[in-house]
Chains A and B, each alone.
Chain A
Amino acid sequence: MLFFSFFKTLVEQQVTVELKNDISIRGTLKSVDQFLNIKLDDIEVLEELKYPHLSSVKNVFIRGSVVRYVHLPAAQVDTALLEDATRREAATQASKK
């Protein structure tokens, strides 16, 4: 759930999503769901000449299972808060065992 909650804090930010087939798509993060499916608006494909398939596409929905990385805007990430959330998640996991 941590990743889901975290990505929700990045809605409306510019992110770059790298897929498992090496295509990187930059766009505005519009929404994310529990499977980490991602909706991006106003996209551009990095290395468009190598991957021309999406050249006339504006908005996309990406299945969570095909995402390799999400590149984050560093300035928009509250590291202290993220550390705290990670520890809390670990604590709840540990208490369940």
Chain B
Amino acid sequence: MEEHDPPPQGGPPQLPPQMFTTAAQLLDLTDTNLVLTESVERIFARDVYADIPRGIFLVRGENVLLLGEVVWVFDSLQLTVSAKIWQDLDKDDYVPEPYREVSDNEAHEMQKQEKEDRKATDKSRAKKLHKLGFEVEHAGENLF
């Protein structure tokens, strides 16, 4: 932590600046907004997945957790074609074995079931923990 200036004499007592997120810090977090075009949402549930076309997204930067580079065909135009690039090209459409593509509705249905299952297991777990004197916070949520 950096040293900060002592509060001005006579004024109200100042709290150290690192106690709060300042407006400037918030701006820093959000100044990398993204525009996505032709976006596709891929949802996985149990052993199925579905691709849902979503169109244009404007994303506030603070919500970005991870950016991943998908290897595309035109990568090979800039480089000489090597075995590695062909491997990467294959990877573009690669989905691991047990997963199969289904319709949006089917995937959503599966997702709903999965959610309910998790809720049930979380609930029984929380109950058992409660009997032992533990309190479960944020049950069933994914927190970051």
* Chain A interfacial positions (CB closer than 8 Å to B): 19-21, 43, 48-49, 52-63, 65-66, 93, 96
Contacts and interface: CB of A to CB of B under 8 A. Distances in A.
Given A57-B70, A60-B66, A66-B65, A49 B96 contact: yes
Contacts of B67: 60-61
A93 B1 CA distance: 8
B142 to A, nearest CB: 6
A65 B65 CA distance: 8
B93 A56 contact: yes
Contacts of A63: 64-66
28 contacts: A19-B66, A21-B144, A43-B68, A48-B96, A49-B98, A52-B96, A52-B99, A55-B91, A55-B96, A56-B91, A56-B93, A56-B94, A56-B95, A58-B70, A58-B88, A58-B91, A59-B68, A60-B66, A60-B69, A61-B66, A62-B65, A62-B66, A63-B66, A66-B65, A66-B66, A66-B144, A93-B1, A96-B3
The prevalent SS among residues of B at the interface is loop
Interface residues of B, number: 26
B34 to A, nearest CB: 12
